[in-house]
Amino acid sequence: MTGLRASRIGGPGPIEVGGTGAGYDVARVREDFPILRRQVRGRPLVYLDNAATTQKPQAVIDALGGYYSGINSNVHRGVHQLSELATEAFEAARETVRAYFNASAVEEIIFTRNATEGINLVAATFGRANVGEGDEVLISAMEHHSNIVPWQMLCEASGARLRVAPIDDRGELILEEFERLLGPRTTLVAVSHMSNALGTVNPVEEIVAIASRRGVPVLLDGSQAAYHMPVDVQALGCDFYVATGHKLYGPTGIGVLYGRRARLEAMPPYMGGGDMIASVTFEKSTWNVLPYKFEAGTPNIAGAVGLAAALDYVTAVGLDVIGAHEQDLLAYGTSALEQMEGVRLIGTARRKASVLSFVMEGIHPHDIGTIVDREGVAIRTGHHCAQPVMDRFGVPATARASLAMYNTREEIDTLVRALERVRDVFK
Residues acting as catalytic residues: 385
Distance CA 13, CA 59 (A): 10
Alpha helices in 104-247 (DSSP H): 115-130, 149-158, 175-181, 204-213, 233-236
In sign, the C-alpha dihedral spanning 215, 216, 219, 225 is negative
**Can you tell me the distance from the alpha carbon of 252 to that of 329, in angstroms, rounded to the nearest whole number?**
26
**Phi/psi at 215 (5° precision):** 75, 25
3-state class (DSSP) for residue 245: helix
Grouping H, G, I as helix, E, B as strand and the rest as coil, residue 54 is coil
How far is the C-alpha of 392 from the C-alpha of 357, rounded, in Å?
14
Pick from 180, 221, 188: nearest CA to 386: 221
CA dist., res. 72 & res. 301, Å (int) = 9
Dihedral sign for Cα atoms in the order 41, 47, 52, 53: positive
**What are residue 191's phi and psi, to 5 degrees?**
-135, 155
Give how far Cα 95 sits from Cα of 92, 102, 105, 209, 210, Å.
5, 10, 8, 27, 30
CB atoms within 10 A of CB 354: 27
d(CA 69, CA 88) in angstroms, rounded, equals 16
DSSP SS3 for 370: helix
| Residues 278, 130, 100, 113, CA torsion sign | positive
- What amino acid occupies position 277? I
Residue 48 in contact with residue 403, Cβ under 8 Å? yes
* Closest C-alpha among 197, 208, 199 to residue 260: 208
Q: Cβ of 337: how many Cβ atoms within 10 Å?
A: 20
Residues 6+ apart with CB under 8 A from 351: 172, 200, 201, 203
